[in-house]
């Protein structure tokens, strides 16, 4: 079975996972937190996050992260990889 068919987001309004506006402002922050709460209970969060990271820049909440959080994760991974290569 495809991991996407088991996502809890399928039972929610898709707009919840695509907040419009600044993440640090009232309603958008609330919506983001609500979407992340769904992700925290979801059985396929890890697969969802891995897909979003592999797919590149995708908008919305995927695997319990925002696009900005995923970019930060990728930058950290790139720095760690560069540091490992330099140390070798």
* pLDDT above 90 for 85: no
Is residue 1, in this structure, part of any structural domain at all?
Answer: no
Question: Which pLDDT score is estimated for 77?
Answer: 87
48 is in an annotated binding site: yes
Q: Which two tokens stand for residue 17?
A: 């996972």
11 belongs to an annotated ligand binding site: no
Q: Does the pLDDT at position 67 exceed 80?
A: yes
| Range of the structural domain that residue 35 is part of | 8-87
Give the residue-averaged pLDDT of 1-30: 89
Within a domain: residue 72?
A: yes
Give the residue-averaged pLDDT of 41-70: 95
- Residue 65 assigned as binding residue: no
Q: Does the annotation place 4 within a ligand binding site?
A: no
Instruction: Dump pLDDT digits (tens) for 21-50.
Output: 876 678 899 999 999 999 999 999 999 999
> Per the domain annotation, does 20 fall within a domain?
yes
**3 inside domain:** no
Number of domains in the chain: 1
């Amino acid at each position: 079975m495809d991991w996407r068919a088991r996502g809890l987001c399928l039972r929610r309004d898709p707009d919840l996972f695509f907040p419009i506006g600044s993440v640090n402002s009232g309603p958008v922050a609330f919506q983001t937190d609500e979407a992340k709460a769904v992700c925290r209970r979801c059985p396929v969060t890890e697969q969802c996050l891995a897909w979003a990271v592999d797919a590149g820049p995708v908008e919305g909440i995927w695997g319990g992260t925002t696009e900005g959080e995923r970019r930060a994760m990728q930058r950290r991974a790139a720095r760690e990889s560069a540091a490992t290569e330099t140390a070798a």
